[in-house]
Amino acid sequence: MEKIIDEKKQGESLILEQKDGNTRKLFIESYGCQMNFSDSEIVASILANEGYNTTQQLEDADLVLVNTCSIRDKAEQTVRKRLEKYNAVKKINPTMKVGVLGCMAERLKSKFLEEEKIVDLVVGPDAYKDLPNLLSEVDEGRDAINVILSKEETYGDISPVRLNSNGVSAFVSITRGCDNMCTFCVVPFTRGRERSRDPQSILEEVNDLWNKGYKEVTLLGQNVDSYLWYGGGLKKDFEKASDLQKATATNFANLLELCAKAQPKMRFRFSTSNPQDMTLDVIETMAQYNNICNYIHLPVQSGSNRILKEMNRQHTREEYFELIDNIKRLIPDCAISQDMIAGFPTETEEDHQDTLSLMEYVKYDFGFMFAYSERPGTLAERKMEDDIPEDTKKRRLNEIIQLQQKHSLYRTQQHVGKVEEVLIEKSSKKSDAHWSGRNSQNTVVVFPKDNYKVGDFVNVKITDCTSATLIGEAVGLSMNNS
């Protein structure tokens, strides 16, 4: 029997699924991308069958797992700091075991066991099903490691345990790995080849979430537009598939439609889109279904054609503009966000100006902006010198951030005066008398609670805004409530 424990923490309702009879305590925390958070839910599910329930108290844990990120050097340093903290806790809880999961585990492999005394277990992103075996080795006092990457594993058969959930929105992963080989990026090395998950298992997870009361699903992948199911197998082997497999294959637009139709009252989002793989039929499907949110995270990294080429991004600035124009033509109120990298090797002031002018053209709703961080093993690291001085990187990054803030405010101001549907997720961080939720465009909306509750779709009149938040007043429940 599974029971649901509801507890209040920092104004948020934390729902922990626990399994009766489990006696061991697992403390699991995640760094980096949404995929890592989603993977930790898979790991918690695997370990629930091994006698582990999750705990929020590090000091109580029998097993501590940290799901790690390698995307930038700083992300790795954050994890190293956490290991120091575990070290301190181990002094008062000496039987506690520590495992490292995710991208750093894959990148550093057995080096982790040598470099960090505290670590007992190293498990790469495709090896989580081996955790029960690995843990029995650890129980017998040996260090354990599995960092084998897979061409098939999608964890499609595992029903994730929802961790730290608001009970309203959830992630569902649809692809794993990435074949794109952007020259700055470590992901293809740490997460392996791209493979798609059986749409049937995706729909089952979506339906199950709906039955548990969830109202919004974000479909996750490194490159969702590249999703392709033809009965299993790597994306790159599709050419070798039979005619029947090709004729009955499911692409990302098909998958979106399947989800939108299966649960017409549920909201669907997805992340991340790669401009080179996003097709018109995806945008048309978004336009056709009200319950697919009008928001696209569309990283571009740079506005300079020369830098885009050096990054091995497979599109030009002009092709990107064409995609943006098509999105705005088919979905005029679609929000678009970006990822940008400042100071990629050889980037000149002129290249940087191209990035700023691209931003002026798109006027993104928001963005995630980074200074270039050289990653060991990537093509950029092997072939190019990290030649932009740190202070130049910082200055360019600041200019990008400043411009984004201006555009974010411009975009939020466009919402003022409108009535928009908001899905309530939690209490506002700043005020317990206000709800916080998001509109279709993924912008946070804050408004007085009245008699509404978490999980309600509410029509909110937007009265004011900052560059990051819309402020409003509820005018009634939306038609979407069942």
Per-residue tokens: 34: 């949404």
Number of Cβ atoms within 10 Å of the Cβ of 197:
24
72 binds ligand SAH (CB under 6 A): yes
251 binds, among ligand F3S, ligand SAH, none (CB under 5 to 8 A by kind): none
Tell me: does residue 281 bind ligand SAH (CB under 6 A).
no
CA-based torsion, 392, 275, 160, 429: positive or negative: positive
Pick between residue 223 and residue 443 the one whose CB is nearest to ligand SAH: 223
148 binds, among ligand SAH, ligand F3S, none (CB under 5 to 8 A by kind): none
185 binds ligand F3S, rule: CB under 6 A: yes
Rounded CA separation 166/214 (Å) = 9
Residue 170 makes CB contacts below 8 A (sequence gap 6+) with: 162, 209, 214, 216, 217, 218
Q: Under rule CB under 6 A, how many of the chain's residues touch ligand SAH?
A: 17
Q: Determine if 31 is a binding residue for ligand SAH (CB under 6 A).
A: no
Q: Which of 341, 400, 422, 423 binds ligand SAH (CB under 6 A)?
A: 341
Q: Which stretch binds ligand SAH (CB under 6 A): 108-116, 150-158, 310-318, 365-373?
A: 365-373
Tell me if 52 sits within 8 A of 22, measured CB to CB.
yes
Nearer to ligand SAH, 97 or 393 (CB): 393
> Closest approach of Cβ 185 to ligand SAH, in Å?
5
Please select the residue that binds ligand SAH; options are 277, 284, 333, 339, rule is CB under 6 A. 339
Can residue 302 be called a binding residue for ligand F3S (CB under 6 A)?
A: no
By CB under 6 A, residue 98 contacts ligand F3S: no
- Tokens 């996750």 label which residue? 220
Q: What angle do CA 422, 267, 270 make, to 5 degrees?
A: 110
Residue 53 near ligand SAH by CB under 6 A = no
Q: Please give the residues from 253 up to 282 whose contact with ligand F3S meets the rule CB under 6 A.
A: 274
**Chain residues that interact with ligand SAH, rule: CB under 6 A:** 33, 71-72, 184-185, 187, 222-223, 272, 299, 301, 339, 341, 370, 372-373, 375
**Chain residues that interact with ligand F3S, rule: CB under 6 A:** 178, 180-182, 185, 187-188, 222-223, 274
